[in-house]
Structure 1
């Protein structure tokens, strides 16, 4: 099985590899491609544009030519997955799409934490659409200042700010907490044992990828 993963940060590669090992995937099953420029351009322009969507879809389609399934791991670029899927001979998985479908299953209050401002609009649309089937109440929250810490390489402070946001969401009665970006996964290690474990994209995306290949 060959799973091609499109990332916008090199640091997300080990996160996905950890998830692959947890799922029992063989070494080398994941093939990583990084296009940080796509997210940087979206940030500079204030959000996803038609041109960025088209370019991202083109990258996904090229990866699909040599893979059994493709995973897009960027919530800002997420809508490009649907565009590519319509033209691809193999499944194209939108990581945050799978996360949204999983997070709303139990209904109730779902708090989606984000650290990148450009992902707020696509993430909100995605989770609200998924929630129509279950009646879940969606709250998408941007963790102020977190992305500046990430860009500055202050990883410990970045993850600490996320852990604080998780604690706040749980104090306010969230039934489910979801991390909109893979880069947030490391914050799980900072949560207390009694804290509700947030849902993360890498694990559910790879589970979906494996199921898609088995069904294809």
Structure 2
């Protein structure tokens, strides 16, 4: 199965490749497009303008032309997926796949979010998917994790993510979800038996099972 990815952070390529390999997918069947310029343009404009939406949609169309599925790994570009309803292959939002997976588990959902700007969009997305269920959603801001991420100290960063996940479980969470794809490797630091959800595995599972 050929899967293409649209990233805006280069480091997420390795995260999704690792998840794909763990699900039995071959690295040779994965294609990565890294476009930090699209995210930066949206942030600079302060909105996902019509022109930027068109640029992103064109990029997704090009990826879909030679793929069985396309995964958008950046939440900032996620709204472009709604414009791709006529795509010949599934276009999967990684953040939406994660929210759906968490809602399926149900109960008390704790979402770890490092970037302050992502808190409200993340809250809305998870609440949307939990609507109509008995699940509750709590977005937990972990600014110390964001500071470590920006400093480049990834070992300390991932250890802090895992510690925050353990704290959320201890506080009564039924399931913990990592809001950012780059958090996924923190599972190796987390307590055994309580596996947080990450968007890489969630998105790939959606892409694999969709016709």
Q: Normalising to structure 1: TM-score of the pair?
A: 0.88
Distance 1:64 1:167 in 2: 38
Distance 2:3 2:69 in 1: 5
Report matched runs for 1:152-191 at 5 Å.
Answer: 152-191=151-190
Contact 1:39 1:77 (8 Å CA) reproduced: yes
Q: Secondary structure at the match of 2:105?
A: coil
User: 1:10 Cα deviation (Å)?
Assistant: 1.5
Contact 2:115 2:143 (8 Å CA) reproduced: no
Counterpart position of 2:200 = 202
Distance 1:44 1:148 in 2: 21
Q: Note the alpha carbon deviations across 1:11-67, whole angstroms, 9 max, x for none.
A: 111211111111111231110111122333445566x53354443333212211221
Contact 1:11 1:183 (8 Å CA) reproduced: yes
Structure 1 segments unaligned to the other structure (5+ residues): none
Q: Would the alpha carbon gap of residues 209 and 133 (structure 1) be closer, same or farther in structure 2, given more than 3 Å must change?
A: same
Counterpart position of 1:64 = 64
Counterpart position of 1:124 = 123
Distance 2:44 2:162 in 1: 27
When structure 1 is superposed on structure 2, of 70-79 and 139-148 the one drifting more is 139-148
Q: Which structure shows the bigger proportion of residues in helix conformation?
A: 2
Q: Normalising to structure 2: TM-score of the pair?
A: 0.90
User: 1:198 Cα deviation (Å)?
Assistant: 0.3
Q: Would the alpha carbon gap of residues 161 and 41 (structure 1) be closer, same or farther in structure 2, given more than 3 Å must change?
A: farther
User: 1:187 Cα deviation (Å)?
Assistant: 1.1
Q: Does 1:96 align with 2:95?
A: yes
Q: Does 1:3 align with 2:16?
A: no
Counterpart position of 2:16 = 16
